[in-house]
Structure 1
Amino acid sequence: MTVRIVTDSACDLPEEIERSLNIEIVPLTVRFGDQEYVDRGELGVAEFWERIGKSKQIPTTAAPAPGAFEAAYRKVIAEGATGIVVICLTSKLSATMSSAELAARSITEVPIEIVDSKSASVGEGLAAMAAARHAASGADTAAVAEAARSLADRTRILGGLDTLEYLRKGGRVGAAKALFGELLSVKPCISIRDGEVAEAGKVRTHSKVVAWLLEEFSKIENPEYVMVFHSMAPDAAEFLAQVKALAPDMEIETGIMGPIVGTHIGPRAIGMGWVEAK
């Protein structure tokens, strides 16, 4: 039995992990004004952040069409998949999961399980990575999906933003709140759990963001998986080293936030995702 994992480009997994685990990626689209790009295909992560730095315009994003998922399903079936587990960007923030479900109705050759990651960025990526490893162990489609759902229920993301401006322009916070935050030089801290984005605190400097993240992570006992993420934060390597010092026996990867989540978060954000022990 060969179960393949399909996920979307909001997962922010490093490409080497995607390749090594044979994860199929369905891209979302990014629009700068009247120009539309396929995430990762026509617009890479480095180019996206370069454009953000030069443009006053905040891009928008769109979920994949059902046809994009159907094409991915048929591709992995042609490559020998006998079952497919699809890990999707949280349904509370995107229509991506709806597209995946619609596309699955067109496939009768193999079983397909759709899993809501209840997360985004590396939280979604952790679910996809863990599911792929479970599939590689020989588990069947239902077992892989069950494991992914369990993991999604235990995944948490914490992050510190450099500015509220991107959340404001994306309609996530009001203009007055964003302006107040900028005037006070506040660095907003957020959490994502069960698909919900929530304010987790406020600090005044980036260094205090890092200190807060490390303090919160130090409280977690025996996490199953951990991944650091950033949106071109200059101290990302140093932060990774500090996280590894708190969990020296764990394999901890770094994901660079791509256009899909980065559009709302903005540059110089930093954070981490982990899966709590059962």
Structure 2
Amino acid sequence: MRIGIVVDSACDLPASFIREHGIVVMPITVRIGNAVLEDHRDEEATLAFLHAHVAERGHEAETTPLSVERIRDLFLKQLVIDYDHVFCLTISRLRSQIHENATQASFAILNDYKPTRQAAGHNSPFALRVIDTLNCFAGQTITAVEAVRMRAAGVGVAQMRARLEELARNTCGFMIPRDLYYLRNRARMKGDRSVGLLSVALGSALDIKPVVRAFHGETEPVARIKGFETATEKMFEMACRRVRAGLMTPTVSVCYGGDMAELPGIPGYARLVDTCLDHGVEVFESMMSLTGMVNVGKGAVAVGFASTEHGFD
């Protein structure tokens, strides 16, 4: 059976991994004023857009997921021919409309695919499963990588589905932003008044950085640490402890909202890489998606993994 894997562009997979394994990316459109970029996870285009717009006006950005009609067209023009079964892995439905759009599109796809497949010489049925990864950014990577591994190992689709849904329930993403004022302005732009000016001012004055956890679809601060460098070191050390204790998959995902040449110099990261190497865990490094950067700001760093332990300690 030919199995396809589809993600949205908020999923922080390395571009080389996407190309090597034929992963299909559903783009998210980012608009800042008159500037528009459809995010296909092109790192050069993302950096150029970042340098030109995000640092100054990124909090004003509008992000638009692929519409129901465009998802339907993507499948009916390409994927129902190329594959027999597709797993569509989306950002948390609580963070974006993508999951809902993909689910709605799936009804039309499964109703309309037969003429297209028959014209291409395929008379067998086509199947599609939309899975909410219950996470975002670095956390989304975990299920996508495992889907690729299981497909390569010849695992059946029923077993793949059960495993991917189990991983989604146990995947954590942790992120540290650099600029609290950016977060506040972005929240206000989206109508979220929970990020107060006073707390932002105090946090910025004292250089307090929140550690934000994405888990079960929700995002919330789980720690507050003085200094960005100290915060990243503690976050990566927590990830090291999880690796030493044993992860549910041999995968750690790290994304950075800027030039990837800066990532190795972030405190704690080298130790995480060494720990993963010692324990047979593969590290996937990726530039944060443009969608991620406009939502959390330039220079944010995040890590994701699947573990039975979900806290930050």
TM-score normalized with structure 1 length: 0.91
| Unaligned segments of structure 1, at least 5 residues | none
1:1-278 superposed matches below 5 A: 1-40=1-40, 44-52=45-53, 55-58=56-59, 59-74=61-76, 75-79=78-82, 81-108=83-110, 109=113, 110-171=126-187, 172=192, 173-220=195-242, 221-223=245-247, 224=249, 225-232=251-258, 235-239=262-266, 240-248=269-277, 249-276=280-307
Computing the radius of gyration over CA atoms, which structure comes out larger, 1 or 2?
2
Deviations along 1:198-236, one digit per CA (max 9) or x if unpaired, are 102122212201221133123311122211111127641
Structure 2: how far apart are the matches of 1:202 and 1:261? 21
Structure 1: how far apart are the matches of 2:58 and 2:216? 31
Deviations along 1:42-96, one digit per CA (max 9) or x if unpaired, are 99321232124553452221221012222332312222x0011110010011111
Percent identity at matched positions? 20
CA distance 1:95–1:52, change in 2 (3 Å): same
Note if contact 1:166-1:263 (Cα within 8 Å) is conserved in structure 2: no
RMSD value, Cα: 2.1
Note if contact 1:21-1:129 (Cα within 8 Å) is conserved in structure 2: no
Structure 2: how far apart are the matches of 1:214 and 1:54? 25
Deviations along 1:130-173, one digit per CA (max 9) or x if unpaired, are 11221232233333222211111111111211112232122252
Deviation at 1:277, TM superposition (A): 5.7
Note if contact 1:84-1:141 (Cα within 8 Å) is conserved in structure 2: no
Structure 1: how far apart are the matches of 2:176 and 2:182? 13
Structure 1: how far apart are the matches of 2:136 and 2:180? 18
CA distance 1:94–1:182, change in 2 (3 Å): same
| Unaligned segments of structure 2, at least 5 residues | 114-125
Deviations along 1:224-255, one digit per CA (max 9) or x if unpaired, are 22111111276411454221122222221101
Structure 2: how far apart are the matches of 1:68 and 1:159? 31
Amino acid at match of 1:146: A
Deviations along 1:5-62, one digit per CA (max 9) or x if unpaired, are 1110000211111111211000011010244321138993212321245534522212
Q: Which has the higher helix share?
A: 2
TM-score normalized with structure 2 length: 0.82
CA distance 1:126–1:182, change in 2 (3 Å): same
